[in-house]
């Protein structure tokens, strides 16, 4: 979201365009979101100027995404949003994740937005111990309905301020799988 709003090439990749971003959040609050956003902008050298970048609009959410999709679409249209982050897919679905209907309804609503969306998710218990199988929690439609999936793994020693983050591409509908990426932060 920071890269798309600022144009800054975070994690070695520059966005092709900048635009306002909508961050729809079921897990934290505006204060934590603002704190994380400021920390991300202070990390690079030189720092990213938060005031100069496109806005990252924040929306705390309680109702399922599908039931709020029209209001979110109006908000996105009003502000010229070109990218949406949904945190997290499981809660945004608003139903039993083991059953298919809640997941399918969420993906239908996401598709109807006609705006690229990143859905943050949690992996299943089975995927936690298996580096090759990092499937999202719930039924198979969480993975099958996604066009592109990545897993993010963090390694950090207790008390350390430096950490390593590895990104692994598990699915790519419209091209080849990307190689594994790792970053020290």
- The per-residue pLDDT for 101 is 94
The model carries a pTM of 0.89
Q: What share of the chain is helix, strand, coil (3-state, %, to 5)?
A: 35, 25, 45
Neighbouring residues of 127: CB distance < 8 A, sequence distance ≥ 6: 133, 134, 135, 151
Token pair belonging to 5: 């709003």
What's the rounded mean pLDDT across residues 49-61?
A: 96
52: exposed, middle or buried (Cβ count in 10 Å: 0-12, 13-18, 19+):
exposed
pLDDT at 133: 58
Q: State residue 30's pLDDT score.
A: 96
Predicted confidence at residue 134, as pLDDT, reads: 63
* Average pLDDT of span 121-149: 75
Question: How far, CA to CA in Å, does 102 sit from each of 28, 90, 108, 142?
Answer: 22, 9, 10, 10
Average per-residue pLDDT for the chain: 90
**pLDDT(66) > 90:** yes
Answer whether 64's CB lies under 8 Å from 94's CB.
yes
Least confident segment among 11-15, 21-25, 107-111: 11-15
Q: Helices H, strands E: what count in the chain?
A: 7, 7
Mean pLDDT of all residues in 154-179: 90
Nearest to 10 by CA among 36, 59, 47: 47
pLDDT reading at 129 higher than 70: no
Percentage of residues in the chain with pLDDT exceeding 70?
Answer: 94
């Amino acid at each position: 979201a920071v890269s798309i709003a600022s144009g800054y090439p975070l994690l070695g990749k520059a966005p092709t365009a900048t635009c306002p971003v909508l961050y729809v959040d079921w897990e934290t609050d505006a204060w934590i979101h603002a704190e994380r956003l400021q920390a991300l902008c202070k990390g690079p050298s030189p720092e990213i100027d938060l005031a100069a970048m496109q806005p990252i609009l924040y929306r705390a959410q309680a109702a399922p995404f599908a039931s709020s999709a029209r209001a979110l679409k109006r908000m996105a249209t009003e502000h010229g949003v070109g990218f949406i982050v949904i945190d997290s897919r499981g809660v945004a679905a608003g139903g039993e994740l083991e059953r298919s209907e809640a997941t399918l309804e969420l993906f239908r609503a996401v598709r109807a937005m006609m705006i690229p969306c990143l859905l943050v998710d949690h992996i299943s218990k089975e995927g936690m111990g298996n580096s090759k199988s990092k499937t999202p929690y719930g039924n198979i439609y969480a993975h099958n309905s996604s066009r592109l999936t990545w897993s993010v793994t963090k390694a950090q020693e207790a008390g350390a301020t430096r950490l390593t983050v590895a990104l692994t591409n598990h699915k790519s509908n419209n091209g080849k799988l990307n190689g594994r990426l790792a970053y020290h932060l």
